[in-house]
Structure formats: C-alpha cells, structure tokens
Structure 1
Amino acid sequence: MTIVVILVVTGALLIGALWGLWGRIPASAEGFLIALAGGALLIAAVLELINPSIEKVPIGWALLSIVAGALSFTALDYLVKEQWGAGQGVGLLIAITLDGIPENLALGVSLIGTAPMTVAALSCSIFLSNLPEAAGGAKEMREGGQSRRSILLLWTGAALLLSLAALAGHWLLAGVDQAVLAYIRCFAAGAVVASLAIEVFPKAFRKDDYWAGLAAAIGLAVALLLHSLGGG
C-alpha cells in the first residue's frame, strides 16, 4: 500500500504536467479544479494531520509547530519569488516542492499503523491538489518559453523528490516516538495551509472568480466524506 499511495500522489505531478503541456485547459476549469483541490487539502490538513497530533502532544507545542511550518514555507516562497526572481510557473513548481516535502513526510508517517481509509483521505486530497497545480504550473512555464523536455524533467525531479520524502517518512521514522511524529504532522499542516493561502486560492480566484468559493466548499465536502469513511 505504501508504494501504491506514493505512486498515486506523486504521479499526479507528472499527469498534471503532461496535461498542462499537451492538453487544453480553460482558465475557468483550471481555477475551479485548483479551488476544489485546495478545499480538500485544507480540511485534510486539519483532520488527518492536526487533529490526531494534538491528542499526543501539548497543544501549545503543536500550535508552535504549525506556525513554524507556515513561517518556513512563507520565507522560502518569498525568497524564491521576490529575491531569486522565479517566474509564476517555476514558482508554483518550487512551492509544490517546498510544501510537498513535509506534506509527503507526513503522508509516509500516516502510513504507519493507520487505517487504509484514513490514509486514502489524505492521499486523495494531496492528489487532487497536485494534479491541477502541476497542470497550471507546466502550462505557465511553457508560455514562458521553456521547452517541453526541460519542463517534464523538472516536474519528474519534483515527483521523485516527493516520493523519497514519503518513503523516508514511512521507513526511517517508523520507530520514532509518537510525539515527534505529531510535531512533524503539525509542521507539515502549517506549510500546507500557508501554501494554500499564498499560492492556491489566489490563483483559483484569478482564474475562476467567485465560482472558486463553491469549488473550495465541494473539495472540503469530498475530504470530509473520505474522512468519515475512514472512521474519523
């Protein structure tokens, strides 16, 4: 199950990149999908990462871990865009990678002794998030003049890196104290929330205007359904 989940989640980056390079994506459809994915990932971060963690560690330290994750992502994203001058497509690629590393570490951790449907709720939410984001990022990179080959190589590298993060979370952290795993989950959740606020929801609104609000609610409902099926 570990390998299958990792392949599904990181494979979304490659499928999305291929879609963005060779498929046709109306701006409104892209925005709707991005908002839907963002809604799903937002509630999944709370239900699958934060909620289980605050039962194992003091609430104050859990909240600090969430804030630390958000601060880390925000600082790195600022450096990428404002200081290093990465374009929109490249910035989105780096953003997915930056929040994807702790996110996939947490996914790997969640595979340790967790019910299959609970894992499915988190992995499906990450899949829904990665697919349209990769499609939009690859499309913007192509419009910026990069070759399809170089774009595919970049997204393939990101997928491999995130796969390694998930494997590391599952295999290297299997014997780690539950409190440490809880802090990793909270840190990942903070990075996810920051990426949604900075990258995902603003882009969804630009592409699809007010329909993005409905899409986010639908995504949230889907993630809630998956969580309930997992016995949450």
Structure 2
Amino acid sequence: MTVLIVICITTAALILGALWGAYVGLGRRTEGFVVALAGGALIVSVMDELIRPSVDPLTLWGAIAAILAGAALFSAGDYWVNERLRNSGGAGMMLAVTLDGVPENLALGSALIGADALAVAALAGSIFLSNLPEAAGGARQMISDGRSRWQVLALWSAVAALLAAAAYGGYAGLSNAPKPLLATINCFAAGAVLASLATEVFPKAFREDSEWTGIAVAIGLSLALALSQLG
C-alpha cells in the first residue's frame, strides 16, 4: 500500500501541474522558483537514494559507467527532441518529461524494494516538485498552441499513467532481481536525472527567475537533506 501511495503522489503531480497550467496560470517567476527548488532537492535525492547505495554492489567504476550511460542516453534523447520538435512547444516538453520520467520512475520503484517509505521520501518529493511546474508549463504552452483544455488534460493524464506503470514495474518486476542489476538501473536513472538538471531544469529556472534561482536551489537542497536525515 505504501508503494502505491508513493507512486500515486509522484505521478499525480503531472495531472495537478496540467490543471495548474490550464486553469490557474501562476506567473513565470513562481514557476521558475519551484523548478529551481525541485532541482536542488533532486541533487541530494539522486546522490543519497540512487548513487551511494549502488557503489558497493557495482564497485565505483561500475557505478560511474552506469551514471555516464544514463546521462549520455538522456542527452541524446534531449538533442533529438530539440532538433525534431524545435517548434512544437508544449508537445516537445511533454515528450521530454516522458523521456526523463521513465528511467526516473523506474528507479523510484526499484528504490522502494526493501526500503522504508521514509528513506525514499526525499526522492519522491523531489520528483513531485519537478513534475509539477514542468507539466504546468507544458500544458500552458499546448493550450496556447490551440489544443483544448480537455485534450491537454487527457494527454498529461496518459503520461502520468505511463510513468506510474514504470514506477510500479520497477518495484514489482525487479523485486527478485540481483542487487547489481538494481544498482545499475538506479545509477543509469541517476545519470539521466543529472543530465536533465543540467540541460533542462536549471537553465529553465534561471531564464524565468534569475534573481532567486541560486537561493531556491539551496532551499530545495536543504529541505531534501533535512528529510533524508529522518530515515
């Protein structure tokens, strides 16, 4: 039950974000602040929940190789999205969220195997915070491009369902997997998340709220650090 609750909370952020972008329309500076805060939280969560526990099963060089592979694959996918969907606005953002979210949620599911719920609360909270403004921005842009609110909500709900399935698949499908395989998946996902922070999250936050980006990142990191100490 705890696993389903964590998965529902993280993926619900996409639906809530789409509702936010479609109906509320908070300012770009607020969105930028939340994006930066989420990025800071992800730095701690990725290191503490995905990378550090994976070093022993994989060895240091194995973990590094998996991290680099994840970063390389995300960067290649991100480049393809930017080149092929350069003028697609919100649709391109939705695809980028999907490419980033599948390994991210797969890792979330695998991290829940044998773990206390509180131990991965920081990771789940960080994913929630990062999904929320990304979905809001994508939904707002898709409506500006001419799609109806119902179409936009349906599309983002489908993405949420896909990512929920990835998270549950990571938990149920890998429950009996050997530790080195789990560690490889976690490090691969960590590399993808880190690449997304460098190429998507922090640049977006700085464009929309340059004055407060550094402070927001520090706040997010501090919140995730404090939460991780509760486990």
The TM-score bracket by the shorter chain reads over 0.9
Question: What secondary structure, in the 3-state scheme, does the structure 1 residue paired with 2:57 have?
Answer: coil
Is the 2:40–2:217 Cα contact (8 Å) retained in structure 1? yes
Specify the alignment match of 1:62 in structure 2. Answer: 63
Specify the alignment match of 2:204 in structure 1. Answer: 203
* Distance in 1 of aligned mates of 2:65 and 2:143: 39
User: 1:110: how far off?
Assistant: 1.1
Is the 1:72–1:191 Cα contact (8 Å) retained in structure 2? yes
1:116 pairs with 2:156: no
User: 1:43: how far off?
Assistant: 1.7
Residues 57-97 of structure 1 deviation map (CA, whole Å, 9 limit, x = unaligned): 11111111101111111111111120244523222211211
Is the 1:95–1:195 Cα contact (8 Å) retained in structure 2? no
* Distance in 2 of aligned mates of 1:61 and 1:165: 24
Specify the alignment match of 1:44 in structure 2. Answer: 45
What letter matches 1:194 in structure 2? A
Specify the alignment match of 1:147 in structure 2. Answer: 148
TM-score calculated relative to the size of structure 1:
0.96
User: 1:56: how far off?
Assistant: 1.7
What letter matches 1:96 in structure 2? V
Specify the alignment match of 2:176 in structure 1. Answer: 175
1:106 pairs with 2:122: no
Gaps in structure 1 of 5+ consecutive residues? none
* Distance in 2 of aligned mates of 1:209 and 1:20: 21
* Distance in 2 of aligned mates of 1:13 and 1:145: 20
Is the 1:44–1:125 Cα contact (8 Å) retained in structure 2? yes
1:137 pairs with 2:138: yes
Specify the alignment match of 2:19 in structure 1. Answer: 18
Specify the alignment match of 1:162 in structure 2. Answer: 163
Alignment size in residue pairs: 230
What letter matches 1:93 in structure 2? M
* Distance in 2 of aligned mates of 1:202 and 1:182: 29
1:216 pairs with 2:217: yes
User: 1:210: how far off?
Assistant: 2.4
Q: Which residues in structure 2 correspond to 1:184-195 (within 5 Å)?
A: 184-195=185-196
TM-score calculated relative to the size of structure 2:
0.96
Is the 1:39–1:215 Cα contact (8 Å) retained in structure 2? yes
Is the 1:40–1:221 Cα contact (8 Å) retained in structure 2? yes
* Distance in 1 of aligned mates of 2:151 and 2:72: 31
Residues 150-170 of structure 1 deviation map (CA, whole Å, 9 limit, x = unaligned): 211211111000000011100
RMSD: 1.1
Is the 2:41–2:122 Cα contact (8 Å) retained in structure 1? no
Is the 1:97–1:162 Cα contact (8 Å) retained in structure 2? yes
Residues 187 and 86 of structure 1, relative CA distance in 2, 3 Å threshold:
farther
Q: Identity percentage over the alignment?
A: 52
Residues 125-154 of structure 1 deviation map (CA, whole Å, 9 limit, x = unaligned): 111111111111111222222221221121
* Distance in 1 of aligned mates of 2:203 and 2:23: 25
Is the 1:92–1:199 Cα contact (8 Å) retained in structure 2? no
Is the 2:25–2:140 Cα contact (8 Å) retained in structure 1? no
Q: Which residues in structure 2 correspond to 1:20-35 (within 5 Å)?
A: 20-35=21-36
